[in-house]
């Protein structure tokens, strides 16, 4: 239940409900008054309907994924609301402006929102003075101050909610990274334990068997008859045990592939608002490379969630000649020029520390391409 009220869907439904109630009450009150000129009622009703339709369009994913479309919808909403301010002499339609400023606060920086807030209040003040024809200027100013406080409260609450949402997303991302890292560490611990067992078998049991075989070989030269036959049987059995021990130690020391894909699956579990697909064709054997690629993947996914407005993401991992290639691509907004921020710079630093290379480009979205040399090649 808490997740629903913290979601965009709950906010959109609440905003739509407010717009519907304000629009219906305004149309009702307007119908109770005498129309200033023919068609006034029809025009006002059309503008209320248009404002509600623009709000609905603004909430759609195909608009949310593209910033220019969001700005276009906000601009059209602003024109509609300003028209209603001057067309309808009903003070509480200013609530439409509050809903609009909340949308603006979600889309634009706080400083830009502040300037638009000042503009919205100024337009409302002018519209109220226009309706009262200057006879009640004090009443218009009082209404404007009250409206300013309501708008300011809405902006502050929205800004705070957005910051809390960012913190929740960062916390969730760190939690997923911890789970994925634990997966790698568990695998690393298992391999370390295999190596320890192999070393102990070789150093202890292998040493004792070798010494025993040497003693039995000496015994074959100093014993005769049935005793010598028994010694030769024991010697053959000792050599067989030593051979089996060496085979077992070799198998324990063999590097097994790290379950890198399992760690990535932990990382992408429960990502909000995006569908991630995996295509893994290669396997890692070095834990340090796995940890580097895991952190780079987490940073790349964070960038996808914050900046791309993407609905889908594809992560591929393959081996190209003597390099491992990890590619994270999305279907988000394609930008002509990408200035690397802290996220991309962090990826670049981690990859270069391990002797790899990283590149990024925009084509049908955004793609980060990471290459690391295959250990041993």
Q: What is the CATH number of the domain that holds 365?
A: 3.30.565.10
pLDDT at 6 over 60: no
**Rounded to 5°, angle at Cα 235 from 229 and 236:** 95
Closest among 299, 322, 324, 304 to 314, alpha carbons compared: 304
Radius of gyration of the chain (CA): 35
Average confidence score pLDDT of the chain: 76
Q: What is the mean pLDDT of residues 75-83?
A: 88
Give residue-wise pLDDT tens across range 139-173: 666 766 777 777 777 777 777 777 777 777 666 66
The number of beta carbons lying within 10 Å of the beta carbon of residue 347 is: 24
Q: Are residues 239 and 149 in the same domain?
A: no
Residue 293 belongs to domain spanning: 258-373
Q: Are residues 324 and 356 in the same domain?
A: yes
Which whole-number Å values give the CA distances from 334 to 178, 190, 274, 337, 338, in the listed order?
A: 31, 43, 17, 9, 9
Q: What is the pLDDT of residue 1?
A: 46
Question: Does residue 95 contact residue 107 with C-beta atoms inside 8 Å?
Answer: no
Closest among 111, 112, 103 to 158, alpha carbons compared: 103
Question: Does residue 51 contact residue 81 with C-beta atoms inside 8 Å?
Answer: yes
The number of residues in the chain equals 377
Give the pTM: 0.56
Q: Which residues contact 70 (CB under 8 A, 6 or more apart)?
A: 58, 63, 64, 107
pLDDT at 4 over 50: no
Q: Are residues 237 and 262 in the same domain?
A: no
In a domain, 222, yes or no: yes
Q: Are residues 145 and 98 in the same domain?
A: yes
Burial of 189 (0-12, 13-18, 19+ CB in 10 A): exposed
Out of 235, 253, 271, a domain closes at: 253
Strand pairing category for 357-362 and 366-373: antiparallel
pLDDT at 53 over 60: yes
Q: Are residues 47 and 60 in the same domain?
A: yes
Q: How confident is the model at residue 76 (pLDDT cuts 50, 70, 90)?
A: very high
Two tokens at 21?
Answer: 């109630």
Q: Are residues 235 and 281 in the same domain?
A: no
**Residue that the structure tokens 């200033």 belong to:** 36
Q: How confident is the model at residue 50 (pLDDT cuts 50, 70, 90)?
A: very high
**Rounded to 5°, angle at Cα 181 from 270 and 164:** 45
């Amino acid at each position: 239940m808490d997740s629903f009220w913290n979601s965009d869907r709950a906010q959109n439904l609440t905003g739509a409900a407010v717009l519907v109630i304000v629009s219906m009450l305004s149309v009702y009150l307007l119908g109770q008054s005498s129309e200033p000129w023919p068609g006034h009622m029809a025009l006002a009703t059309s503008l209320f309907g248009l404002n509600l339709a623009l709000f609905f369009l603004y909430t759609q994913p195909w608009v949310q994924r593209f910033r220019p479309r969001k700005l276009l919808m906000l601009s059209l909403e602003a024109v509609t609301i300003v028209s209603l301010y001057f067309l309808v002499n009903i003070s509480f339609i200013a609530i439409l402006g509050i809903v609009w400023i909340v949308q603006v606060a979600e889309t634009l920086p706080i400083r830009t929102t502040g300037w638009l807030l000042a503009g919205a209040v100024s337009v409302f003040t002018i519209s109220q003075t226009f309706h009262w024809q200057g006879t009640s200027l004090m009443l218009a100013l009082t209404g404007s101050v009250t409206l300013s406080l309501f708008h300011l409260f809405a902006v502050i609450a929205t800004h705070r909610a957005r910051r809390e949402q960012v913190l929740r997303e960062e916390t969730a991302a760190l939690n997923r990274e911890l789970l994925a890292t634990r997966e790698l560490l568990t695998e690393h611990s298992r391999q370390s334990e295999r190596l320890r067992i192999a070393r102990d078998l070789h150093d202890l049991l292998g040493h004792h068997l070798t010494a025993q075989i040497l003693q039995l070989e000496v015994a074959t030269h100093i014993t005769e008859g049935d005793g010598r036959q028994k010694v030769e049987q024991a010697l053959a059995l000792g050599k067989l045990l030593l051979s089996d021990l060496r085979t077992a130690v070799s198998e324990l020391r063999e590097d097994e592939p790290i379950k890198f894909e399992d760690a990535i699956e932990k990382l992408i579990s429960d990502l909000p608002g995006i569908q991630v697909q995996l295509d893994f064709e290669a396997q890692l054997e070095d834990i340090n490379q796995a940890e580097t690629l895991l952190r780079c993947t987490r940073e790349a996914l964070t960038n996808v969630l914050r900046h791309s407005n993407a609905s889908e993401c594809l992560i591929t991992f393959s081996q190209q000649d003597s390099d491992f290639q990890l590619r994270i691509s999305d279907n988000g907004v394609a930008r002509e020029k990408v200035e690397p921020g802290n996220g991309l710079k962090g990826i670049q630093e981690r990859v270069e520390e391990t002797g790899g290379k990283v590149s990024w480009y925009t084509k049908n979205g955004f793609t980060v391409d990471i290459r690391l040399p295959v250990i041993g090649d």
